Structure 1
């Protein structure tokens, strides 16, 4: 702890300095009020200042008042030192902004006791400041969550009408395409039976060969639009409803559909889930969010690497379903691993992440009587493993 001494009397100054240094304090000595004020305005200013009342250039009272007015970022603990011991002077010193008042003559034990009080006060101030920053960060995060919840609520209201508006033309496209596909097959059969297919016109030949594939592509596009609308509705209502019996493979299928647009062309996702895996009892949309967050993190971890692979495995283990999501990224640094589930902890640059994603899905899993674990794979990359209890009272066979 650094302590400033501002004392114009050389004997008193030497005594003060000797007492403090013997007790392992780092001491900065000044001889007048102006030097004391300038020292206390520096970035590395001492945390505690002992100011004599009467000094050249600026009195101790003036130094205190000026410090409190102009140096507010890290306010020091100030002890006013004076030979005045009347009540009026004590009140004046404290009201000027001093934290404590020490009258001359004083003993070394009293001086050290008052400095230790200052250390405790500064420690409490630092603790309160840390808590205040954490609460401010928490408030900002909660505000963002409320804004997000409001947007998602609005999206939920709009999704039904939006789905209706999209599904109507999609239905027309799908129905007409299927009709054209059936008619095309009939037309081709008739042309073949009549030997009316031209063999020497490259344009006609191209059309005859490519049209079935184009019709199939249209139907796949229609199905893709339908899945996007379905996923949007599910994601908008992900926090609603009650726990129901559900299959982990069905939830993963929806999550992968939602993540499809962020999967890079060079990345491969391999799924290894037995078809006979029993059901769990859960909020499907919440578990879907767990998958989405972990898959998204794995994709981001692999970044712009020339190749990437995500392996998703699930198995039944000790009355629970265990799911493992492994990537081929750089892995989790050793110093990051113990803090990875802490709220607001993130390794992403400012603005790219809130540090809440893993904390939220860990809470989701714990609310389902499950758990989440992070580690580094032996062969490289990160592996996240979570487990969920089985819906043991009511099992059913997985849908085909």
Structure 2
């Protein structure tokens, strides 16, 4: 039979033997060859951005109209040239994610009650994606941050609930993507990876000896551990292969790092540039960016005087002077976001705008930073192959689950996912283009 026209093998096919049913992993034969070639030529990507102090809701959310007939709000007017490239949501939140500021670490995990004693985070959306497709690129994911206290705040969390520290220096990101190490440096890195793999082999061997003496429940837990070890071994092997492959040519001079936390907007712009370059060079297909406004001082803006720390301003108490400064800061956020959309639209990949293949999720864990509420979160989604140009309005009192959007995004990435965290399905009203 012609392998090009042969019907694709269903993903839900099972291997059955001795009473055990095992779901097949994703195989190339599960999609027609021509479709695989098209997807490989134009991969899909994800960028998740969280500003943990959010924006003034009265200037962000549309107040007139829903669907495609909505009227742009004050802030969204700054993105007007991209109106048909994004969808804005109102009345969405993460069920049971509360606690005010601590909720920022749950923006991409939706793990409940982050401020409770004994809280343990769950896997973030980017890491879920990276586990599936991360081996296809040099970096499974990039975790970036602005003013994140030395990388100690992050949007990215592993499946075992471990924080992945942010990289705050654009120069370091640029070097990792484009600077080829010497032969000696490459060999040293390969040996380091080989040592890591040998350690895993030794630990797994010891665990197998132990398994024979354990009760069934502990043996089941060890089986899960073995699965994790096998996954890590595979990642180490792939990483070793990437070490020997030439890096893409540098697109220009390396960026100069911005040192002062007060130059927050300059830092943010550089991180947007790094995310675009990462996608443009196909160095990774998953990027997260934590904009840690809570830990930012009085900002330096070109066209406004900011007299107080970002966090203090957010507790404005309806003070007109504070609201005016916050509005100036929020508008800069929108301008930079629009500029990033410009760059993704201007960058072409196989004749398509990079934005068309890149899902950009922008939002906050706080619906209103002044009162610390985590409901009615300000969220918009741009690009990525959806039908945009609309306002999806849900009940602002009884919110619609934002994790449903995550399921839709996972499926648009080509991943088989019916649930993520507290989702109840896919995002209602959001259709693929």
TM-score, normalised with respect to structure 1: 0.22
Please state which structure has a larger fraction of its residues in strand: 1
Larger radius of gyration: 1
